[in-house]
Structure 1
Amino acid sequence: MMIIAGNFKTNHTRSSTLSYAKGLNQFLRDRQFGAEVYLFPPMSALAYDDFSHFSIGAQNAYPVCGGAYTGEIGLDQLNELQIKTLMIGHSERRVLLGESDQICQRKFEFFAHHGMNIFLCVGESLEVRQAQKVREFLALQLSGIDLSYARLIVAYEPIWAIGTGVSASLIEIQETHAILKDLGCSRVVYGGSVNPQNAREIMSLDGVDGVLVGGASLRLESFCEIIENGEMK
């Protein structure tokens, strides 16, 4: 079963996300796809109707139940909204907001202890790839993570391919997913300029268990096409 997730990042409003989610739910209900579908909207759009054919996830949370952490949300808020899925360590948070591997490990440990579904994002810079240090870099990002945790999905997103329109080559994707599998990751999805034109080829590769889609998920029609491609791989 393919895992197909859409990350809105800081796009869409509460009202536009609700409209999108209703359309996505209808699409999945009508076609009875076998894919495991997730949607990560902005924080302001997390609380709305329950959708039975896909799961809503949070793009970030702080590893506490609650407390004096201005600007963050914790487990209490996620539980109230019935959010059971969380993204940790997206490269934009690592690069722009300085989230370290240690912070990501703390988040993983806390939310795994509370049974959350976790998308853990990993990926190297172009400099690391050119230096042929990809395996060592990914191993460091996974250090301290319980890779046997049954609710873990590792999202491989090479930093140099996120939002650039340039996806990694099929050979690069397959080789890197093989590295992650060898390191002990059970379920690994690819993210990095995934779109309707390349999604089917990417999802057909050995070791690729699905995709995490950024910009191409912002339009419902585009995201639905990617889901269809996952069914036809």
Structure 2
Amino acid sequence: MIFAANFKMNHTRASTKAYLDALNQKLASKRSEDRVFIFPPSTALDHYDGDFTIGAQNAYPEKNGAFTGEIGLDQLDEFGIKTILIGHSERRDILGEDQALIAQKFSYFKSKGFEIIYCIGEALEVREEGEDTVMVHLLSQFKGIDLAYEKLIIAYEPIWAIGTGRSAKVEEIASTHSTLKKHFDRPLLYGGSVKPANIKEITAIEGVDGVLVGSASLEVESFTEMIFC
């Protein structure tokens, strides 16, 4: 099982270090087959020792250059970062990243051998149109994405369930994951208001290979409770 924590615009360098120190102590007894990913804000990227993988929430698809406010391969290489989150709905919908830019990022970081957690998801109005419409929308988000890439992990996050406290129903997750799995043979995570109260029922769903956790991962006790569920 994969457990990925996306801190988004939360935590500082100091609080991230304290979090990871505490997490590492708890992970000493985790299941050997489980993998743990942490995506801190870019200001907290660093070399950290532990039984977890540190990834970048975002980066520009260049080594360096005149891209104000961005980080690139040089900055990631400094800390040995080889994992990145691409396609998150907040970058698509709030920050305006279109599929062409997302695919460009994917191709660039694929060429550099990064492990990529690639996010897809639909808005509530799409979900309300029915499963067929949902799948057309989700599959459109794979345009320009190499689904055979061996270092690809996919995360399905219904946008209407992110940060709302409302997770998708078990039946909705199971159906969507089952249909998606017909199109690729890569690990598939679920994200969207995952928390200690629902982690067991979500990870028990066939076709769910792990979770991408937002707000419930910000406290180390909450996140480790999910890892050891």
Q: So what's the TM-score if we normalise by structure 1?
A: 0.95
In structure 2, the partner of 1:3 is 2
Q: Identify which of 116, 123, 126 aligns with 2:124.
A: 126
1:38 is paired with a residue whose SS is: strand
In structure 1, the partner of 2:98 is 100
1:6 is paired with a residue whose SS is: strand
Moved more, 177-186 or 146-155: 177-186
Counterpart residue identity of residue 27, structure 2: L
In structure 2, the partner of 1:116 is 114
Identical aligned residues as a percent? 54
User: 1:135-186, CA deviations, whole angstroms, 9 ceiling, x for partnerless residues?
Assistant: 1001100122111111101010000000000000000001111121112151
Q: So what's the TM-score if we normalise by structure 2?
A: 0.96
In structure 2, the partner of 1:149 is 149
Q: Following TM superposition, where does structure 1 have runs of at least 4 consecutive aligned residues deviating by more than 3 angstroms?
A: 30-33
In structure 2, the partner of 1:51 is 49
Paired with 2:30 and 2:98, the residues of 1 have a C-alpha distance of 41
Paired with 1:102 and 1:184, the residues of 2 have a C-alpha distance of 21
Paired residues of 1:156 and 1:191 also in contact (CA < 8 A): yes
CA displacement at 1:33 relative to structure 2: 4.3
Paired residues of 1:154 and 1:185 also in contact (CA < 8 A): no
Paired with 1:120 and 1:32, the residues of 2 have a C-alpha distance of 24
In structure 2, the partner of 1:13 is 12
In structure 2, the partner of 1:198 is 198
In structure 2, the partner of 1:140 is 140
In structure 2, the partner of 1:41 is 40
Q: List runs of 5+ in structure 2 lacking aligned partners.
A: none
The yes-or-no answer on 1:211 pairing with 2:211 is: yes
User: 1:39-67, CA deviations, whole angstroms, 9 ceiling, x for partnerless residues?
Assistant: 0011110014x323000010000111111
Counterpart residue identity of residue 204, structure 1: A
CA displacement at 1:30 relative to structure 2: 3.9
Paired residues of 2:8 and 2:214 also in contact (CA < 8 A): yes
Paired with 1:119 and 1:110, the residues of 2 have a C-alpha distance of 14
Paired residues of 2:30 and 2:228 also in contact (CA < 8 A): no
In structure 2, the partner of 1:86 is 84
Give the 3 Å change call, closer, same or farther, for CA 26–180 of structure 1 in structure 2.
same
Q: List runs of 5+ in structure 1 lacking aligned partners.
A: none
Paired residues of 2:6 and 2:214 also in contact (CA < 8 A): yes
Paired with 1:106 and 1:185, the residues of 2 have a C-alpha distance of 22
Aligned residue pair count: 227
CA displacement at 1:34 relative to structure 2: 2.9
Paired with 1:177 and 1:185, the residues of 2 have a C-alpha distance of 12
1:182 is paired with a residue whose SS is: coil
1:225 is paired with a residue whose SS is: helix
Paired with 1:156 and 1:6, the residues of 2 have a C-alpha distance of 14
Give the 3 Å change call, closer, same or farther, for CA 24–108 of structure 1 in structure 2.
same
Paired with 1:215 and 1:174, the residues of 2 have a C-alpha distance of 23
